[in-house]
Structure 1
Amino acid sequence: MPKTLRKARLHWMLLLLTLLACPPLQVSGQTPEQQDVIGLLRQLEAQYDIAFSYADEDLRDLRVTLAPGSTLPEILKELREQAQLRVEKLNDRYYTVSRSPLVDICARILDNFEESTIDGATVEVLGTEITTLSGPDGSFRLESVPRNATLRIRHLGFKTLFVSAGQLIRQEPCSSLLLPVRYQELEEVVVYKFLTSGLSRQADGSILMNTSEFGVLPGLTDPDVLQTIQALPGIKSVDETVSNINIRGGTNDQNLLLWDGIRMYQSGHFFGLISAFNPYLTEQVEIIKNGTSARYGDGLSGIISMHTHDAVERTYFGGAGANLLSGDAYGHIPVTDRLAIQVSGRRSVTDFLNTPTYSNFSDRAFQDTQVSGPGGQNTDRFLNRDEDFYFYDLSGKLLYDIDDRHKLRVSALNIENRLAYTEVLAADSTENHSRLDQSNLALGGKLSSEFSDSFSTEVSGYFTRYILDSFYATEASGQELSQANEVEESALKTRATFRFSDLLSWQYGYQFLVTGITNNSEVNQPPFLSRIKDVLYTHAAFTEWQYTGPGGRLDARAGVRLNYLNNPDDFSRFRLEPRLNLQYRPVPHLAVSLLGEMKNQATLQKVDLEQNFLGIEKRRWILADGQSLPLVTSRQASLGLHYDRGHWIAGLEGFYKDVDGINTDTQGFQNEYQFNGELGRYRVYGLEALLNYKSEAWSSWVSYSWNKNNYRFEALAPPEFPNNLDIRHTLSLGTNYTVGNLKVGVGVNYRTGRPFTEPQPPPDSVDNTVFPNRVNFADPNSSRLPEYFRADASAVYAFRLSAGLKASLGASVLNLTNRRNILNTYYRLNDQGEVEKVESLSLGLTPNISFRLQF
């Protein structure tokens, strides 16, 4: 082989080895490739005979993506934009490369469960005023952000995420951030639409109302929390009021009513015909009939817990509206990113505007009833009557997020009802003057702390004061009667939750309550003065375990509450209250529930004489004394079957409840037993059924309840007889339909009559052997009122006035058929010693209209 050829081959072999030893800068093919920045700079130095000055720690782990065939100026441009580096040319050969102190960043926020985009997440650059929100696709972009800054990303329902700005240096595509879902106890929803939108059944069997998603219910144009829950099986009011709600045959005082964790002793306006709680800031309402958590005391029959809006929003929202009874306004006002204020107010128009709705409500509330003489003829007791009545409520809430793990909330509410009433008697044209003021002031605070993902605490306290003050004066006799009922309660509550895993958690805490109740009565002639004040101290410790089985087939909660109740003048008692709540799903869409609880209660409502508190509000709060008024105790168990699949929901639940220690004074007897003060018990058992069809536009339902509710008083004859609230059959049918901006609801409520006691037939109807004479009654509750039937309808039309202002116009009619429903009947002797029959009637046909604005 010639020497020249050998040299040529050797030259080409050395060139090939050199190329193999030094990989080319440009990527072969057409696919961009990520390259290490430090390695890239070394290649550029070898290829272009240049030198770069840099610190390795500044460029470590940085990578860029280059297109094939990129030139040196293009590569330097990508280093500046992709890696956010400062590249400065000192001369034709030397360059300096360093990190830029400010960078442009971008990212896309997804949830870590289904990796769906999160719209409206708050992105904050800590230590600066830079902030933004993620868009509809979950993405955000920020410019000139300090490279070493930390970003905080938050969204309701998710855990807060902290990330370094340097990790999000802008590149295409932007980085993806997975926001962890925040799991909370009892948040799993089994039924997503129950009777109407905004009503759902929880995993523990309780019912949750979300007022922001609320649909229309028959007879209501504006949401009314305490009216709405009466559409649920097992909950009703025998006298059509929200201040006398009966849950599974229990009396109203056996319900625990909470507003932002504060116990409320008053619930209604217009003496119970309207709820006293603003529904537009009341975000959620939880209704519990059985299987209560051990952290709750009292509430033998049930718990109604209302929660106002609890998140610090970054934007203003609010609204105002009016109907034929009142006007209201509310608003959420952000002060800073961590501080917000909520306010609401409502006032009636009843003292200066007489509307058809007010006339019907007035007749219902202030009726002296229809009085029938011994021959059945009607008698008019009054020539004229005049009432000056109005109500209002004011609420406020301070929301302060101290940091991401500590939140402070302070709530206040004031409810007022005021009445001045004058009646002119037909007999002698003399006047009777009355005045009644009813109010409930509540103030409470709560500090919630989340020390880690597994440990959290809550410390809360409240003060609530209820006052019922009345004055009655008769012109003919000159007699004046003053009465007052006052309740003051202070509480301090603590609770801690430790989550061992996603399946097992433990909750425990301590509570201290002081309850004072005062009753005053004063008469000028003959002179009489009575003042009774009782105080009860309650210490309670509780512990509770909750377990969720794999796949969510089993939800189990078991706990116990230990109460120590001390009335210094009367008694001290320890009471142990076990609680159990089991929900098991043998197959998807089908759940079996087993619930049980024991409870005790020391606050009671005494139903006073018919003429007291003007005959309008006849109940006064009292405390158990351990003797004539013992602690009332209850035991309850229920077994249910619940089905939810597709468009259908069905449920069937049977229950048994035994309540012991009741007094005839607290039951509202209007026969010979109303003054006896005998002790006894009642037992109620029954079935509750629901069938609900739901779709995007329709929701139609049928609910049915059957109860058998009997008293047992050993000292009375006969000892066992029907409960005053023994409503055997209750049926509710309804449908609501949504088409475009229009919502329509129509419904029917039916129930069998409640028991009452009639007099003995004449001539034995009056007992003349005693003084004063009295009515001779037949066996207690041996008669029943006629059946109750009421049809209602509502329609609400929503429209937009501008980009940020929405409006709605609503109309409703209660008792469409104008049926004469008798709510109560009792008998008494008139001034001539004759038996007269007194009937309380329901609302007649009652229209209402409303107009609302929301922003």
Structure 2
Amino acid sequence: IIDMHTKNELKDQFFGGAGINLISGDVYGQFPLGDKMALQLSARRSLTDFFNTPTYNEFFDRAFQDSQIVEREGNFYFYDFTGKLLYDIGTNQKFRLSFININNALDYSELSRDNANATRSSLDQTNLSFGSSLDSKWTNRFKTYLNMYFTRYNLDARNIASDAQQQLFQNNQVKETGLKLNTNYGLNENLNWLNGYQLSETGITNGTNVTNPPFNSNIKGVVRTHSVFSEIGYTSPYRKLFAQLGVRLNYLQNPGNFEKVILEPRLNLNFRLSEAWKALVLGEFKSQATNQIIDLEQNFLGIEKRRWIISDGAQLPITQSKQGSIGINYDQPELYIGLEGFYKEVKGISTATQGFQNQDQFNGEIGKYDVKGIEFLINKKTDRYSIWTSYTYNLNNYTFEDIVPSRFPNNLDIRHTLTLAGTYDIGGLKLGLGLNYRSGKPFTEPLASDPIDESVFPNRINYDEPNDSRLLEYLRADASAIYGFELGSRAAATIGLSILNFTDRKNIFNTYYRLNATNEIEKVENVSLGLTPNVSFRVRF
């Protein structure tokens, strides 16, 4: 779980910082506006449209790999900025107002061996969000939390064919408005009762325009979700047991398509067996009425492009999942050991949302996947060093009744994942070293006996059983060094150097097949980052 958030407490003094690396630069700060108010601002911008660096070149080569390309050029940049107003109305009420704007832009052209003319593509992605919250403590036992937000996501994509006869424009826009109210009441020292209501309205537009032959499509959809939830939390005397038992009731409405009520129970049990040992039992049901279609076709130069769509209840049902886990851990200041077993089942998925690259083999079939496995983590640490290793075993399979065979490995069925890492402090210098290993992911090969279907036009590839082959294992070693030092009495700085894949090992992380201009099957292998250095400098005050 990744929990990312800005600071939420007032400070009576200004603080901030800035940094730069071989990809981007950023700056941030919090400015006091009196005793009860402060303003946070941050901004980041890429440097990639000003000059190329070894780091950018390595990422560029990783993103645009194609054995048929003889000449290419691209212009990529991104920027984002955020703001947050913190206002403490009183001792027991806190108001927060925030926004974020993210923009990514790519223009790219390439010249292949098969065609003397260049193909040009562009992608522009923006995200704008506003949110506000009011946190109130009415009594020592009763609290409320009110949150409102609006977010808009927009993706514009354009592709101009090499003969300039056809232009393809695509747009995907998502607008969502939401409101959430929580009430928290302490029944006694051991029991806490959480209740709430949540409303969200999500509108998604998908537009497509082709110049030759002329084609225009603009599909809009809306889904509204009303949710009520309740949860009881219990903490036993001496904190031997912590238990949460809750339920969420969702009413989903897609006008003209479906209305559905979904019940989602949740459970969290934490047993303290001794001062160091704890046992955990977790379980929950979830649902989702929006999905992403993953485009991996040759338009847009093979770049993975994800478009949001709304479930219609038929061709794309509401996705529903249930998951549970049980674990035990040993936690002491210098040693942590954790072992967890888990199971998850997700129903209502479509082959169109799973990123299959054997595209002609499927036609939007509906099915499910289930994953089960274990996770193990051990971490030994002192004041000077920290060493940890983790291992995960996954067994991840699809089930699609309309496909033969109906059960086969998931695209993300990576059976074994192992990580070894450590850090060591020498005065102001921190050294880090990491090793990442994972077994090969599955992929689908053409049918050896009859690889090309010439009975249709254009011809297409006949594929073997889905995900019946596997890539070689992935192995990457990384290293980093960070040196920190003071800049006077109120400022400090760090200089960092990192090297991804310092052995420069060639790792193939994806393989797919396509027909070239001469109607021959071409095997495309995507290779992970090679040796990739980066240098950073940060200052904080």
TM-score interval (norm. to shorter): over 0.9
1:628–1:740 distance in 2 versus 1, CA, 3 Å: same
- Secondary structure at the counterpart of residue 34 of structure 2: coil
1:829–1:475 distance in 2 versus 1, CA, 3 Å: closer
Contact 1:418 1:437 in 2 (8 A): yes
Residue 345 (structure 2) pairs with residue 345 (structure 1): no
Distance 1:406 1:647 in 2: 39
Distance 2:71 2:272 in 1: 63
Contact 2:411 2:443 in 1 (8 A): yes
Distance 1:833 1:732 in 2: 43
Residue 387 (structure 2) pairs with residue 688 (structure 1): no
Residue 15 (structure 2) pairs with residue 328 (structure 1): no
Q: Which residue of 2 aligns with 1:579?
A: 266
Residue 150 (structure 2) pairs with residue 470 (structure 1): no
What letter is aligned with 2:29?
A: G
Give the one of 369, 384, 397 matched to 2:66: 369
Distance 1:359 1:525 in 2: 35
Q: Which residue of 1 aligns with 2:140?
A: 453
- Secondary structure at the counterpart of residue 361 of structure 1: helix
Q: Which residue of 1 aligns with 2:294?
A: 607
Distance 2:145 2:164 in 1: 58
- Secondary structure at the counterpart of residue 587 of structure 1: coil
What letter is aligned with 1:604?
A: N
Report which of the two has the higher share of strand: 2
Distance 1:547 1:505 in 2: 6
Distance 1:322 1:570 in 2: 50
Distance 2:473 2:493 in 1: 40
1:310–1:395 distance in 2 versus 1, CA, 3 Å: same
- 1:609 shift after superposition: 4.2
Contact 1:465 1:487 in 2 (8 A): yes
Q: Which residue of 2 aligns with 1:741?
A: 428
Residue 315 (structure 2) pairs with residue 617 (structure 1): no
Q: Which residue of 1 aligns with 2:4?
A: 306
Residue 200 (structure 2) pairs with residue 513 (structure 1): yes
What letter is aligned with 1:331?
A: G
What letter is aligned with 1:320?
A: A
Residue by residue, what CA displacement relative to the aligned partner does 1:80-138 show, whole Å, maximum 9, x if unpaired?
A: xxxxxxxxxxxxxxxxxxxxxxxxxxxxxxxxxxxxxxxxxxxxxxxxxxxxxxxxxxx
Q: Which residue of 2 aligns with 1:495?
A: 182
Q: Which residue of 1 aligns with 2:439?
A: 752
Distance 1:673 1:641 in 2: 45
Give the one of 333, 336, 346 matched to 1:659: 346
- 1:787 shift after superposition: 0.2
- Secondary structure at the counterpart of residue 487 of structure 2: strand
Q: Which residue of 1 aligns with 2:468?
A: 782
Contact 2:121 2:300 in 1 (8 A): no
Distance 2:27 2:391 in 1: 37
Residue 19 (structure 2) pairs with residue 318 (structure 1): no
Distance 2:299 2:269 in 1: 46
RMSD of aligned Cα (Å): 1.2
Residue by residue, what CA displacement relative to the aligned partner does 1:650-676 show, whole Å, maximum 9, x if unpaired?
A: 011001111111100011111256641
Contact 1:520 1:532 in 2 (8 A): yes
Q: Which residue of 2 aligns with 1:853?
A: 539
Which has the larger displacement, 496-505 or 456-465? 496-505
Residue 233 (structure 2) pairs with residue 550 (structure 1): no
Contact 2:482 2:495 in 1 (8 A): yes
- Secondary structure at the counterpart of residue 507 of structure 1: strand
- 1:827 shift after superposition: 0.8
- 1:499 shift after superposition: 1.0
Report which of the two has the higher share of helix: 1
Q: Which residue of 2 aligns with 1:119?
A: none
Distance 1:349 1:713 in 2: 46
Distance 2:529 2:267 in 1: 41
Q: Which residue of 2 aligns with 1:3?
A: none
Residue 510 (structure 2) pairs with residue 830 (structure 1): no
- 1:507 shift after superposition: 0.4
Distance 2:31 2:24 in 1: 23
Q: How does 1:77-226 map to 2 (within 5 A)?
A: none
Distance 1:401 1:672 in 2: 55
- 1:475 shift after superposition: 4.4
Residue 506 (structure 2) pairs with residue 794 (structure 1): no
What letter is aligned with 2:291?
A: L
Contact 1:434 1:470 in 2 (8 A): yes
- Secondary structure at the counterpart of residue 630 of structure 1: coil
Q: Which residue of 2 aligns with 1:716?
A: 403
Q: Which residue of 2 aligns with 1:812?
A: 498
Distance 2:512 2:73 in 1: 25
Contact 1:555 1:583 in 2 (8 A): yes
What letter is aligned with 2:347?
A: D
- 1:795 shift after superposition: 0.7
Moved over 4 A (4+): 672-675
**Taking structure 2 as the reference length, what is the TM-score of the superposition?**
0.98
Distance 2:96 2:297 in 1: 42
- 1:611 shift after superposition: 2.4
Q: Which has the larger radius of gyration?
A: 1
- 1:547 shift after superposition: 0.6
What letter is aligned with 1:341?
A: L
Contact 2:372 2:395 in 1 (8 A): yes
- 1:848 shift after superposition: 0.3
What letter is aligned with 1:591?
A: K
- Secondary structure at the counterpart of residue 364 of structure 1: helix
Residue 72 (structure 2) pairs with residue 385 (structure 1): yes
Residue by residue, what CA displacement relative to the aligned partner does 1:470-518 show, whole Å, maximum 9, x if unpaired?
A: 1111241421110111111000110010012332110001011000011
Q: Which residue of 2 aligns with 1:698?
A: 385
Contact 1:703 1:731 in 2 (8 A): yes
Q: Which residue of 2 aligns with 1:632?
A: 319
Q: Which residue of 2 aligns with 1:528?
A: 215
Q: Which residue of 1 aligns with 2:394?
A: 707
What letter is aligned with 1:315?
A: Q
Distance 1:498 1:612 in 2: 55
- 1:384 shift after superposition: 1.6
Contact 1:346 1:392 in 2 (8 A): yes
Residue by residue, what CA displacement relative to the aligned partner does 1:203-243 show, whole Å, maximum 9, x if unpaired?
A: xxxxxxxxxxxxxxxxxxxxxxxxxxxxxxxxxxxxxxxxx
Contact 1:470 1:614 in 2 (8 A): no
Residue by residue, what CA displacement relative to the aligned partner does 1:629-660 show, whole Å, maximum 9, x if unpaired?
A: 00111111111011112421101100111111
What letter is aligned with 1:494?
A: L
Contact 1:329 1:345 in 2 (8 A): yes
Contact 1:668 1:674 in 2 (8 A): no
**Taking structure 1 as the reference length, what is the TM-score of the superposition?**
0.62
Q: Which residue of 1 aligns with 2:277?
A: 590
- 1:612 shift after superposition: 3.8
Contact 2:377 2:389 in 1 (8 A): yes
Which has the larger displacement, 581-590 or 772-781? 772-781
What letter is aligned with 2:522?
A: E
Any stretches of 5+ residues in structure 2 without a counterpart? none
Distance 1:576 1:369 in 2: 47
- 1:445 shift after superposition: 0.4
Contact 2:25 2:47 in 1 (8 A): yes
Q: Which residue of 2 aligns with 1:359?
A: 57
1:843–1:437 distance in 2 versus 1, CA, 3 Å: same
Residue by residue, what CA displacement relative to the aligned partner does 1:169-221 show, whole Å, maximum 9, x if unpaired?
A: xxxxxxxxxxxxxxxxxxxxxxxxxxxxxxxxxxxxxxxxxxxxxxxxxxxxx
Contact 2:295 2:304 in 1 (8 A): no
Residue by residue, what CA displacement relative to the aligned partner does 1:302-338 show, whole Å, maximum 9, x if unpaired?
A: xx44221000110000001100111110001001010
- 1:452 shift after superposition: 1.1
Give the one of 120, 125, 137 matched to 1:438: 125
Distance 1:330 1:646 in 2: 33
Distance 1:577 1:597 in 2: 7
Distance 2:197 2:301 in 1: 41
What letter is aligned with 1:369?
A: D
Residue by residue, what CA displacement relative to the aligned partner does 1:427-485 show, whole Å, maximum 9, x if unpaired?
A: 34212222210111111000010011110101111011111101111241421110111
What letter is aligned with 1:368?
A: Q
Distance 1:363 1:448 in 2: 47
